[in-house]
Amino acid sequence: DVKVTQSSRYLVKRTGEKVFLECVQDMDHENMFWYRQDPGLGLRLIYFSYDVKMKEKGDIPEGYSVSREKKERFSLILESASTNQTSMYLCASSIVRDSQFFGPGTRLTVL
Amino acid sequence: TQLLEQSPQFLSIQEGENLTVYCNSSSVFSSLQWYRQEPGEGPVLLVTVVTGGEVKKLKRLTFQFGDARKDSSLHITAAQPGDTGLYLCAGGASNYQLIWGAGTKLIIKP
């Protein structure tokens, strides 16, 4: 069974902290994505990666960075967390753009 | 800027009723996908349609892609409580990106 796992389901951090969100997929997919999901706004793409060590900005990259050192792992980093980054964060992977497989999400609260 | 508008935003109906949700745009998409997301989980792909006018069926769910590839609909026959969830449509835009609708929150009451 295909699987995308995310390191935490729930996370509470303080303003200014550095936050790491980890995502691992076991499907040998080339493409990986980080989204945030807020009520009424749908999914907004933060960053994506189409190969190891490759990354591209999505629609809302400000305040975030990413790392992809291995094919199966894609990390999202909040350099200095702020309250407006409180959200649900979803990681996905795919072979082609369509048919993305999602992890369960990390609900991040920044106090 | 490509946008996908979903309607209605919220729908609450009784078990056994039929319903249709819509996904509309002024832009042409190369493909259109529907996902369902349950509370506390990530979205799960239901179907991908790629040809204008295409109709796909998944048990009681019928998906249609508009002839001009600008819109899509999801019809559920005899809805069941297990159909409850957030339904998201996503259109194929650039090589790597999907354009996402804001979703239709569906509640089926027993």
CB A103 within 8 A of CB B42: yes
pLDDT above 70 for B9: yes
pLDDT of residue A15: 97
Find the residue in A nearest to B105 (Cα): A40
Q: How far is it, in rounded angstroms, from Cα B17 to Cα B106?
A: 12
Average pLDDT over residues A16-20: 97
pLDDT of residue B40: 86
Sign, Cα dihedral of A105, B102, B56, B18:
positive
Q: How far is it, in rounded angstroms, from Cα B48 to Cα B34?
A: 7
Average pLDDT over residues B86-98: 85
In the sheet that holds B55-58, the strands lie side by side as B5-7, B19-24, B71-76, B61-65, B55-58
Average pLDDT over residues B35-49: 93
Q: Which positions in chain B touch A101 (Cβ < 8 Å)? A: 45
pLDDT above 80 for B95: no
pLDDT above 70 for A2: no
Average pLDDT over residues B90-99: 81
Q: How far is it, in rounded angstroms, from Cα A107 to Cα A87?
A: 6
Radius of gyration of chain A (CA): 13
Mutating which of A9, A98, A101, A102 best tests the B interface, going by the most B Cβ atoms within 10 A?
A: A98
B104-109 vs B10-14, strand pairing mode: parallel
pLDDT of residue B93: 76
pLDDT of residue B1: 65
CA distance B72 to chain A (A): 16
Cβ distance B45 to A90 less than 8 Å, yes or no, reads no
